[in-house]
Structure 1
């Protein structure tokens, strides 16, 4: 019988595997994403005006046992379990059945129930970022035998996982379920090209960034997370008009660079996001 496990990755890079702590998983419940509507009522108008919705997700619930060697060892192992989940900063949680995805979570308090040398408990992992994200970045090696790839990640034989481009016209494939938005996602687009009045346009989404300055082939022009725009690490947001970021819709995104001359080198560095 396959014994399931899960992985905890702290924000400072430490990795913990529950197989190393004698944890036996009984049940894992991952709720669906819920879209909560936002409405406004207008006097005299029937019903309500739909103002859209925002995504949320109830906590992930995990029930598990842990087995100590004897009664004396029980509180020591219990405290190790406490340390495993007690972090001031959020951490990443991955289960063995979906090794290609991880959730950014915080653990809520829990009280194990002791049964002789066995402890049983249920923990709640609050998932404030809502969506799961790929453990691999787009610029990592997306090889089929990687332990960070899995079925159900939207990979298609029609689109090769290529994230570096040498043409001003190229297609970026987003295998995820939702649009990657640098306002709150980890998306970095790096461009090396000579240009005057550079325009970056996603023809699929309609997003467009216009830079009113110039770049040389040795300059590093970046659209960074948080909608920062830099040239050689210095902000040039004041020279940008008609938007400051590009989003990536699920599926193929047709991108073009306008007003470039000579060679072009573009890298799209991001993670992808899933229900």
Structure 2
């Protein structure tokens, strides 16, 4: 089972991955509740989403115990950085090659050292339990080198805007995301609104020499490369799973609007 850590398989370290690993379908989660005296039951305050933890059985099948130790040392050097901290890497599985987690080692490795081999359980954790698609949405075109079972569609992500109109932005993930939106050209009183959830923002002026970039995930706005958070009035737009109809309105519209994002999955 060629599980990959970044671009490496266990075989690259001289290790053998055995069958029977643990890959949770959902992250840990805790229901937040409040008990009110005199009120039957509990009041729900939402759900706290936690991490995903993985367990993979690994063995080193080499007769020479010195060589076995060398292989384990090489693998440990990959798992930790030069400051002795567990380092983060992309974790992907052969049955879902188009998606990956950001994971790192979660507990001590304690090999059982036998006559001709060592064996141990490798425990990894993804503190961010989100699965990410391999490519950004705008990089997916007909002929893209992605696994054949991927259920994503090539779609348009850059639009020329000359008048008030509605554009369609496709998001093939299963989680709401905040894209990076680049607005270049010139116009005044520009408003973008997602009709799926009625969230919108307004920008007073767009100047042709100063493209505006809205970093939804980081809650940042730049104009011509300089921070200008106050330029945006309203909400950071979200893309919901499926088709998103975005209305664009304003005065003197002569714009190119581009959306940059990577599909995310539970």
Question: Is 2:148 the partner of 1:169?
Answer: no
Question: Is 2:252 the partner of 1:242?
Answer: no
Map 1:178-217; keep pairs closer than 5 Å. Answer: 178-181=175-178, 187-211=179-203, 213-217=204-208
Aligned length: 255
Report what 2:132 is aligned to: 133
Question: Is 2:259 the partner of 1:265?
Answer: no
| Contact in 1 for aligned 2:187/2:254 (Cα 8 Å) | no
Deviations for 1:224-258, whole angstroms, at most 9, x for unmatched residues?
A: 13111121122222233222x11111111111222
**Which structure 1 segments of 5+ residues have no match?**
10-14, 182-186
> What is the alpha-carbon root mean square deviation over aligned residues?
2.1
Structure 1 length normalisation: TM-score?
Answer: 0.84
Report what 2:24 is aligned to: 31
**Which structure 2 segments of 5+ residues have no match?**
none
Shift of 1:262: 4.0
For the structure 1 residues 43 and 76, does the alpha-carbon distance in structure 2 shift closer, same or farther, using more than 3 Å as the test?
same
Dislocated runs of 4+, deviation >6 Å: none
Report what 1:12 is aligned to: none
SS in 2 for 1:238: helix
Shift of 1:130: 0.9
For the structure 1 residues 260 and 101, does the alpha-carbon distance in structure 2 shift closer, same or farther, using more than 3 Å as the test?
farther
Map 1:51-200; keep pairs closer than 5 Å. Answer: 51-68=45-62, 70-87=64-81, 88=85, 89-108=87-106, 109-144=108-143, 146=145, 148-151=146-149, 153-156=150-153, 160-167=154-161, 168-181=165-178, 187-200=179-192
Report what 1:20 is aligned to: 12
For the residues of structure 2 that align with 1:41 and 1:150, how far apart are their CA atoms? 50
More divergent stretch after superposition (250-259 vs 19-28):
19-28
SS in 1 for 2:72: helix
Deviations for 1:142-174, whole angstroms, at most 9, x for unmatched residues?
A: 45561x4352x4425xxx333222245211111
For the residues of structure 2 that align with 1:272 and 1:19, how far apart are their CA atoms? 30
Deviations for 1:92-137, whole angstroms, at most 9, x for unmatched residues?
A: 1112222111101120221122223322111111111011111211
Report what 1:184 is aligned to: none
Candidates 48, 73, 76, aligned match of 2:42: 48
Deviations for 1:41-81, whole angstroms, at most 9, x for unmatched residues?
A: 22322212212213224411111222336222111111112
Structure 2 length normalisation: TM-score?
Answer: 0.86
| Contact in 2 for aligned 1:205/1:248 (Cα 8 Å) | no
